[in-house]
Structure 1
């Protein structure tokens, strides 16, 4: 059975908003449901063009795949960036000769006094070590080397990934699609504004938005563009 990891890595509760705007995204639930359907059969996991995203969602996907008893094989065919590079460490793997891995340190936004800043710094350092643990488990490299690799945004070719033992082999040449850049997922503010707007639509119908995820109700593209303008996305 095949699973495709693509777009942004997002929490389960945010996935429907990405679906609403037609933005590719993968959540832990997407993967766990596919694992259940596999029913013990081997899984082929294709990471096509995945920009990374939420580290906790990425960790959930990594853990689910790594713990699957039916066997997992990872195929990196395009871009496995940031959190997606962690998912790529979940099992035996191959990588297209034109694909790329990208690793870097965790980032976030914070506000508050010096104690809040110290707490945020501690959290980021621990998060970096948690991510580095996936690279260490796969390659056998020292944690210090993994963190050094993450210190700056590092782009890794298939040949380099094999040399670093982050990937097991270079796949046979195919025709994967390259990307020229990677972007940012929807901001927390956009997520919350959209969630509120869709919840209002559900409330107007007399249904509790907490009990049922709002589904896309706007089919006209111009209307969706108006919504994007309203939430300052474009």
Structure 2
């Protein structure tokens, strides 16, 4: 059985190299598609531990998994929140660790403009909530109205609740339950950092020559330090 990891932040394909540059765990549609192509029809196990991220990337990954010719089992080992919870619903069989959780909520975005722009954005978000809810409805059989209300409340399901609401088919090794005390998730790189690095792509390209000048190395070190400052890891 082929194993594909969906871990860290869910991101678009065009920023995957930036996350790789800083060794930050993340998953893009292309990384999942590469795994499916190499599986070549073989059964696939998708291991999920993600707090979510880009809703469009999550939708693409969900669609690729649902379209795959072989059997897909999704296994939630830590958290499947937001966009990652949508991905989890793609499994023909969905499993969850007794220490894991699923979280569903409304789609969010940033917008600016006058009252007409704000109203338009609100209508777009409400419409996309229904699109996201379709994945949960298809898996659980729950009514749309109830699903949308659960999303509106930002609902967290432990393993037993996820099973009772038919978001999953199986709780793993129930007789060996061991609950953890805290939960971490991979950070999302601030957009301003991504924009800055994109403008300096020739300096950061992961496939560039191994023979780098001292100034290039220094520039990369400074960029990494600035990212750590933005994250609050250093002062």
Whether TM exceeds 0.5 here: the answer is yes
Q: CA deviation at 1:170?
A: 0.5
2:195 aligned partner: 192
1:54 aligned partner: 54
- Separation in 2, partners of 1:146, 1:213: 45
Which runs of 5 or more residues in structure 1 are unaligned?
203-208
- Separation in 1, partners of 2:65, 2:180: 25
2:227 aligned partner: 228
Do the aligned residues in 2 keep the contact of 1:98 with 1:178 (CA within 8 Å)? no
- Separation in 1, partners of 2:171, 2:179: 13
Q: CA deviation at 1:198?
A: 2.8
1:15 aligned partner: 16
Do the aligned residues in 1 keep the contact of 2:51 with 2:185 (CA within 8 Å)? yes
Give SS of 2:188's match: coil
- Separation in 2, partners of 1:94, 1:82: 17
1:35 aligned partner: 36
Q: 1:143 to 1:78 in 2, by over 3 A?
A: same
Q: CA deviation at 1:229?
A: 6.2
TM-score normalised over the length of structure 1: 0.86
TM-score normalised over the length of structure 2: 0.85
Give SS of 1:53's match: coil
- Separation in 2, partners of 1:82, 1:136: 15
Q: 1:127-206 maps to which residues of 2 (within 5 A)? A: 127-172=128-173, 173=176, 179-182=182-185, 184-199=187-202, 201=203
CA RMSD of aligned residues (A): 2.6
Do the aligned residues in 2 keep the contact of 1:35 with 1:68 (CA within 8 Å)? yes
Q: CA deviation at 1:114?
A: 1.5
Q: CA deviation at 1:188?
A: 2.3
Q: CA deviation at 1:175?
A: 6.8
1:81 aligned partner: 81
- Separation in 1, partners of 2:124, 2:132: 12
- Separation in 2, partners of 1:214, 1:126: 43
Question: Which is further off, 173-182 or 15-24?
Answer: 173-182
Q: CA deviation at 1:195?
A: 1.4
- Separation in 1, partners of 2:217, 2:70: 40
- Separation in 2, partners of 1:117, 1:68: 38
Q: 1:155 to 1:192 in 2, by over 3 A?
A: same
Aligned pair count reads 223
Which runs of 5 or more residues in structure 2 are unaligned?
none
1:126 aligned partner: 127
Give SS of 1:115's match: helix
